[in-house]
Structure 1
Amino acid sequence: RNLSDRVSITFFLDGEMPAPFKKLSNETKELLQEFRELGKSNIQLKFSRPGEGMDDTSRINFINYLTDSLNLKPTNVQVQAGAGESQEERLVYPGALISYQDIEVAINLLDGQSMEGGYQTLNNAEALLEYRFANAIQKITTDKIPVIGYLLGNGEPQSYNVYDLVTNVLKPVYGFGWAPIDSFPAVPKEFDAIIIVKPTIAFTDDQKLKIDQYVMNGGKVIWMVDQLWAEMDSLSRSQSDFVAFDRGLNLDDILFKYGVRINQDLVQDIKCDKLPQVVGNFGDKPQVELVPWPYFPLLSSYSGHPISKNLDDVLSIFPNSIDTVSAEGIKKTVLLATSSASRSLATPAIVTLNSAKTREEVSSFNKKNNL
């Protein structure tokens, strides 16, 4: 509605296709028509298969551009070749190309979805249609690219995983900068948001004051905090168990001010990932099987929030539970939670390779939707 220039949307899921894909196509076209009614002449729509109407060379080059440069991959489907004829395989492109001025981005409607889920995957894609298109249009038409800062100074990791996060997730969409907190008199206002990733060293009052002033002036913070020392390296070294204990990060007061308490506990869940363990011997060789390990809960979304809606289960490793406490002017939304068969272990806690095996142990997993 507030667009200052024309946005062109070419939707590629068109032509003959199985009924579930056709339903997704129709739902998308209906949504885009609503967008055009809102944007009027600033929304231009086109429905066609990739390269339709082009000569062979131009079509091949265009499809290569979509798949290689914009990462819009096709999906194989089976369609009826004709009345009374057998089925044939065909490629469909469940996505769209959005153009604004000299910028182009592609939307993959199945991004983040596994086709192993069958047609439920397409239902999930339908639920995310409005978010995907609105989010893409907002990003492509925004004059100022948001800048994300990665806070340093309290033992935050700078590992390969962080490099992958920065290079492949953040930088393609946002401006990015490292933010060594002790090098600034205040967190720079140029950062639209900062992320605090797995600190291991306690925060000083001066550091917390800088963060709080940044928040009070409109800054946003993503806290990724492990409250406990609980690492797989410790288990690998001991080969049996280790003690998980509080890191002593000195963050309780500032988080409480924002309406959150990260508990000093370990959350376990019957719904969990598996860990390879030796369960016996076969001759003179150990017999290894994948055994459910409740310290690695699989978390689900129950809120319907766009950030986590229709996500597959999310693996967590030695998570802590969170309590939400009253804080004036702050609204809290739970994005991920455990199943109805979970429990919390107070710390210090012994983390052991032995899973819950007895009926008494299993019956203690009776806490619903740990946060």
Structure 2
Amino acid sequence: MRALVLKEIRSFFSSLLGYTAVAVFLLFTSLFLWLFPGGWNILDGGMANLEPFFAMAPWVLMFLIPAITMRSFAEEHRAGTLELLLTRPLTEGQVVLAKFFGAWAVSIAALAPTLSFVLVAGMLGRPAWNLDLGAVWGSYLGLIVFSGALTGIGVVASSCTMQPLVAFLSAMLTSIVAYFGFGALADFAWLGSWEHAFVQLGMESHFDAMSHGCLDSRDVFYFVAWMALSVLVSRFVLALRRGRVLREGTALLLSTAVLGVVIVLSQLVHGAVDLTAEKRHTLAEGTVALLEGLQDDLLVTCYLSGELPQEWKRLESEVESLLQRMAQASGGRLAFQFVDIYDIDDAQTIGQNEQALFERGLEFTRIAFEDNGRQAFQTIWPGAMISFRGEENPVQFFGSEIPQVDQAMIQGSINTLEFNLASGIRNSTAFESKSIAILEGHGELEDLAMIDLVSTLEEDHLVARVELDGRLNVLSEKLEGMRFRTNRYDLLIVAKPDSVFPEKDKVILDQFLMNGGRILWMVDPVLTDLDSLRQSKETFGVENQIGLYDQLFDYGVRLNRNLIIDPQCAPILLDAGPMGNQRNMQLFNWYFAPLSMPLGTGHPITNNLDPIHFDFVSSMDLVDTQEDVTSTMLLTSSERAKTYRVPVRISSGIVDLDPAYFAEGNTPSAGFAALLEGAFRSHYEQTLPSALRDDPDFAFRSSSAPTAMVVISDGDVARNRFRSDGRVLPLGYDRYARRVVYDNKEFLLNAINYLLQEDALISVRSRSIQLRSLDDARIREERSGWQFVAVGMPLLVVTLLAGAVLTSRRRLYGRVA
């Protein structure tokens, strides 16, 4: 059998026709990947990966492999050598296997020159060789088993006819139907709950995950089953030609039944290997548990679709890939679709569609991009609607309003896709609203001061204002039969307290946290008298004595009693001196109002938000006081910020500072907000009196259940302003720009939503996926040269191999003659 395999390989490469077929395959692929503009072009895409190649490869292989296999049996039968071949001491099965392995080896050899694409993409990376090689090799393995399945189809087609051309056409059409047909038929929505299972019968759904570097045993068994079934059918066809119908038909049925059992077992007992560097194609355990627990069908309608710039097509592709994995993990409960609302010619209908999406809660982004050297603008909807049991819930993939979007910002959105979608699904399927308590009694912000934020929270949550006054049962209750107390609220908001917390209240807050409660702290370490500043243009900042700093330090964060000034700041309108008979009001940099810029990659709470506005903010430090707590700094100052320690003289004259003042003596990236999550130790673990510790009604807990808190060193971050007529201005509104400029509200809502997630979903972190981009400057300067290398190198390899093999055969057989 080995000799027959080698014969098949030699017969293909012994003629110029074989090399020509491979060369056409490589030329076609290379031109679309490196030369022709469009969605396939790797250089235009700007990312150091070969995903366009692995997406295109099935199309090309469905033409190349039938060309390789069409002569396997058809030519033998037409030339009359098939009967001679079967008279050798080989069974029909061995002959079929030899033909199959020979053709499969040729198809793998045809893929080998494409390894030069890895070389080119690696050398053009920024930095060089920033490719995810694990994903590349995993995708090649997927391509190899996929080509094996196509080879099996080709061998069957060749065994059924005497005409190679007929074998080529039938194999090509069968491959196209096997790959695209099942998914295309499922689009007609006639299968109902069987749609997922029906789609899984096709090759496309199984190859897609493998083409991204994730090898699932179910996908591998699927393609191996295609190969095995093809060999069995080809063997039956050969036996049929020799008149053994009944016996071979029975054997085929039994073998197919055994194969079916193996396939079913492979679906029940399976595993997966994610070869990507960041395990980016493996769903988090919390997401899998959420999807497996769906009790009814759920539909995700994504509106990020249509003709989009390259970076947005990349985001669309990542969304689709994630939804495919989610659909598979849900067992068919989750379905998704992509809708382009601009795919019509009626402007009135488009406008109605836009208004409908906006009213349903989706936000659009107005982007700017270059189109043939000119700047163009486009409205896109980077979000989705989740429909479950007649209710809809919007999910945003991208939040910034900045029109010039770069790859880092897109990467940030990709990093948080799983968290955003999982959160949206959890919110859509939750049957009980979460409860939020807003603390008062210690000088906290009044109702109207944060009415914009609270009104939004009340749309989806139960919100109540509570005053502790030393009463233990305000935040928790002791249920009969329970060892520890049960919290009455899921989240507690502490907003800008300005008086000392009694020790009883501090203990109550500690035990609320220990029993799994989440806390959002917005604390001013420094108090300022704004009335004095308005009247005399000068005031002092002094320490805000609230008695919480040691407790927060034990939890893992130190609030520094200082003020941060930053040239990255909001403006203020001040009188710049006389100008005739009128006041000369001008905008100046108000250094006491730093802006934090969380654009680009980051945590789900802050990813791609516009600037966050702070007033008289202090710095904070993360301290390692809790072994089982993970700390993340969410918001920071710029690199040029400076620190003023208390007491601080605050004067409007600071606007006259020379910018050179910020050139030295800086406090770069001073922390403004932090997330702490994990199992906390009680602040009172060693100091609580034994009588209270042993009180069964108090039910002291020395360590917490898994929980989280967000600490912000500015109490005014949630304060909304008012117009002169008393009307409330939206949180983040800038009175000079006359619109919402700052994303304070989005930041706080993100923080609250993150804190309110279930324990399993909190583990769905923002994946630290590296931005693997190409060197744009180098591509602009050397584009033509690299295109020549990328297109020419595979062809050169084939040409040299063809010349060497054909020359050597000519010399060998010439000498024999």
* TM-score, normalised relative to structure 1: 0.85
| Structure 2 CA distance for partners of 1:346 and 1:352, relative to 1, 3 Å | same
| Equivalent of 1:10 in 286, 301, 325 | 301
Q: Report whether the alignment pairs 1:105 with 2:404.
A: no
Aligned partner of 1:369: which letter? S
Cα distance in 1, alignment partners of residues 535 and 548 from structure 2: 29
| Structure 2 CA distance for partners of 1:38 and 1:231, relative to 1, 3 Å | farther
| Structure 2 CA distance for partners of 1:211 and 1:341, relative to 1, 3 Å | same
The CA deviation string for residues 86-115 of structure 1, in whole angstroms up to 9 with x for no partner, is x999865432221122321122333x3114
| Equivalent of 1:141 in 414, 426, 429 | 429
Cα distance in 1, alignment partners of residues 365 and 607 from structure 2: 24
Q: Report whether the alignment pairs 1:256 with 2:553.
A: yes
The CA deviation string for residues 125-179 of structure 1, in whole angstroms up to 9 with x for no partner, is 44443332122112212333321110111111224341111112x1233222222
Greater RCO, CA 8 A, separation 6+: 2
Give yes or no for contact 1:18–1:77 (8 Å, CA) kept in 2: no
Aligned partner of 1:194: which letter? L
Cα distance in 2, alignment partners of residues 25 and 360 from structure 1: 44
Give yes or no for contact 2:365–2:401 (8 Å, CA) kept in 1: no
Give yes or no for contact 1:51–1:60 (8 Å, CA) kept in 2: no
Q: Report how many aligned residue pairs link the two structures.
A: 363
Aligned partner of 2:630: which letter? K
Aligned partner of 1:348: which letter? P
The CA deviation string for residues 340-363 of structure 1, in whole angstroms up to 9 with x for no partner, is 212211111110112262477434
2:575 is paired with a residue whose SS is strand
Q: Report whether the alignment pairs 1:236 with 2:550.
A: no
| Equivalent of 2:634 in 335, 341, 359 | 335
Cα distance in 1, alignment partners of residues 622 and 382 from structure 2: 40
> Which residue of structure 2 aligns with residue 69 of structure 1?
360
- Greater Cα shift, 43-52 or 31-40: 43-52
Cα distance in 1, alignment partners of residues 496 and 520 from structure 2: 11
| Structure 2 CA distance for partners of 1:51 and 1:21, relative to 1, 3 Å | closer
Cα distance in 2, alignment partners of residues 368 and 72 from structure 1: 34
1:117 is paired with a residue whose SS is coil
- Greater Cα shift, 127-136 or 356-365: 356-365
Higher helix share: 2
> Which residue of structure 2 aligns with residue 271 of structure 1?
568
| Structure 2 CA distance for partners of 1:342 and 1:282, relative to 1, 3 Å | same
Cα distance in 2, alignment partners of residues 369 and 97 from structure 1: 37
| Structure 2 CA distance for partners of 1:301 and 1:73, relative to 1, 3 Å | closer
Aligned partner of 1:173: which letter? D
| Structure 2 CA distance for partners of 1:214 and 1:241, relative to 1, 3 Å | same
Give yes or no for contact 2:300–2:385 (8 Å, CA) kept in 1: yes
Give yes or no for contact 2:559–2:621 (8 Å, CA) kept in 1: yes
> Which residue of structure 1 aligns with residue 448 of structure 2?
160
Aligned partner of 2:394: which letter? A
| Structure 2 CA distance for partners of 1:179 and 1:127, relative to 1, 3 Å | same
- Greater Cα shift, 35-44 or 351-360: 351-360
> Which residue of structure 1 aligns with residue 578 of structure 2?
281
Shift of 1:365: 4.3
Cα distance in 2, alignment partners of residues 282 and 64 from structure 1: 47
| Structure 2 CA distance for partners of 1:161 and 1:52, relative to 1, 3 Å | farther
| Structure 2 CA distance for partners of 1:290 and 1:45, relative to 1, 3 Å | same
| Equivalent of 1:349 in 630, 640, 648 | 648
2:629 is paired with a residue whose SS is coil
Shift of 1:50: 4.6
> Which residue of structure 2 aligns with residue 217 of structure 1?
515
Aligned partner of 1:331: which letter? T
Cα distance in 1, alignment partners of residues 630 and 593 from structure 2: 28
| Structure 2 CA distance for partners of 1:221 and 1:345, relative to 1, 3 Å | same
Cα distance in 2, alignment partners of residues 280 and 60 from structure 1: 49
| Equivalent of 1:22 in 294, 313, 318 | 313
Q: Report whether the alignment pairs 1:192 with 2:490.
A: yes
Cα distance in 2, alignment partners of residues 92 and 363 from structure 1: 40
Aligned-residue Cα RMSD (Å) equals 3.4
* TM-score, normalised relative to structure 2: 0.41
Give yes or no for contact 2:442–2:501 (8 Å, CA) kept in 1: yes
> Which residue of structure 2 aligns with residue 368 of structure 1?
668
- Greater Cα shift, 304-313 or 260-269: 304-313
Cα distance in 2, alignment partners of residues 92 and 332 from structure 1: 35
| Equivalent of 1:247 in 544, 551, 557 | 544
Cα distance in 2, alignment partners of residues 69 and 311 from structure 1: 21
2:542 is paired with a residue whose SS is strand
The CA deviation string for residues 6-41 of structure 1, in whole angstroms up to 9 with x for no partner, is 221122233334444433322321221122222231
| Equivalent of 1:151 in 411, 435, 439 | 439
1:354 is paired with a residue whose SS is helix
| Structure 2 CA distance for partners of 1:285 and 1:364, relative to 1, 3 Å | farther
| Structure 2 CA distance for partners of 1:118 and 1:253, relative to 1, 3 Å | closer
Gapped runs of 5+ residues in structure 1? 81-86
Cα distance in 2, alignment partners of residues 338 and 196 from structure 1: 23
Higher strand share: 1
| Equivalent of 1:201 in 477, 499, 512 | 499
Aligned partner of 1:47: which letter? F
Aligned partner of 2:316: which letter? S
The CA deviation string for residues 72-91 of structure 1, in whole angstroms up to 9 with x for no partner, is 558589999xxxxxx99986
1:296 is paired with a residue whose SS is strand
Cα distance in 2, alignment partners of residues 318 and 17 from structure 1: 42
The CA deviation string for residues 276-320 of structure 1, in whole angstroms up to 9 with x for no partner, is 233333334343322222211112349822211222332211001
Give yes or no for contact 2:439–2:467 (8 Å, CA) kept in 1: yes
- Greater Cα shift, 312-321 or 65-74: 65-74
| Structure 2 CA distance for partners of 1:78 and 1:99, relative to 1, 3 Å | same
Percent identity among equivalent residues? 26
Aligned partner of 2:582: which letter? K
Shift of 1:212: 0.9
Cα distance in 1, alignment partners of residues 451 and 439 from structure 2: 14
Give yes or no for contact 1:77–1:91 (8 Å, CA) kept in 2: no
Cα distance in 2, alignment partners of residues 99 and 157 from structure 1: 37
